[in-house]
Amino acid sequence: MTEQEPIYRGKAKSVFRSDNPNELIVKFRDDITAFDGAKKDELAEKGIYNARVSAYLFEYLRANGVPSHFVRMEDERTMIVRPLKMIPVEVIVRNIAAGSLVRNYPFEEGAPLDPPVIVLDYKDDARHDPMINEEIIVALGLMTADEIASVKKTALRINDLLRERIDEIGLDLVDFKLEFGRHGDEILLGDEISMDSMRLWDKKTRTSMDKDVYRFDKGDVMATYAAVAERLTGA
């Protein structure tokens, strides 16, 4: 496998072409950022923990009938994926009020949301990922109304599956962000599902076990990421 310049370099992952046109190489780097990149650091091994959890959850979803771009792990921070044409919409599922929902609306932090609330954000750092609605998504030509409905249904199914598994390790899945992309005629789950993209609270102590530890200097970020990876994957 030849390694060249990335074809895409995000805030925490780099994407490379591979010799196989139907596979891309995603490297999980140790960079961690928050607040649209205004806060950034490099934390040794962070990429490994996120890659491990992401691969584990993509495999778990696949075993339960939800396909994604995930193909296999190449090494501990290198994921082989199907090439997707990413749709710049973040699909956020919320089970408990926290984060921007509490900042922007009169919810009390920690209030359960039943049924879960789906929020759609337009992925654009320069615009600070503004919330978007279905009409704007259709008007921008990003997805059809039917595609939005199908993505939302998939997101809720993923929520059910993730909640069940995360509950077993003593954590509450407060909220998480998904990204989807086009592969031929199909829309597939892409990106990652990791401590960077989920909010996880310890059921007993209500302490954060996710990127909020980094965002708000709540403690040892790497010890937290390692603990979640260990509880979830046994490694």
Tokens of 15: 């994407």
DSSP 72-130: EEEETTEEEE---EEEEEEEEEEEE--HHHHHHSSPPTT-EEEEEEEEEEE--GGGT--
Residue placing its CB nearer to ligand 5GP in the complex, 23 or 156: 156
Per-residue binder mask for ligand 5GP (CB under 6 A), 194-223, x = binder: --xxxx-----------x------------
Residue placing its CB nearer to ligand 5GP in the complex, 9 or 17: 9
Among 81, 177, 188, 232, binds ligand 5GP (CB under 6 A): 177
Count residues binding ligand 5GP (CB under 6 A).
14
Options 67-75, 156-164, 174-182, 225-233: segment touching ligand 5GP (CB under 6 A): 174-182
Residue with tokens 């010799």: 19
Tokens of 181: 């992309």
Q: How far is the CB of 201 from ligand 5GP (least distance, A)?
A: 11
Q: Which residues contact 223 (CB under 8 A, 6 or more apart)?
A: none
> In this structure, are residues 68 and 190 in contact, taking their beta carbons and an 8 Å threshold?
yes
Per-residue binder mask for ligand 5GP (CB under 6 A), 90-109, x = binder: x-x------xxx--------
Q: Which residues contact 162 (CB under 8 A, 6 or more apart)?
A: 57, 61, 173, 176, 193, 198
Q: What residues from 35 to 54 belong to the interface with ligand 5GP (CB under 6 A)?
A: none
Q: How far is the CB of 21 from ligand 5GP (least distance, A)?
A: 28
Name the site residues for ligand 5GP (rule: CB under 6 A). Answer: 90, 92, 99-101, 129, 175-177, 196-199, 211
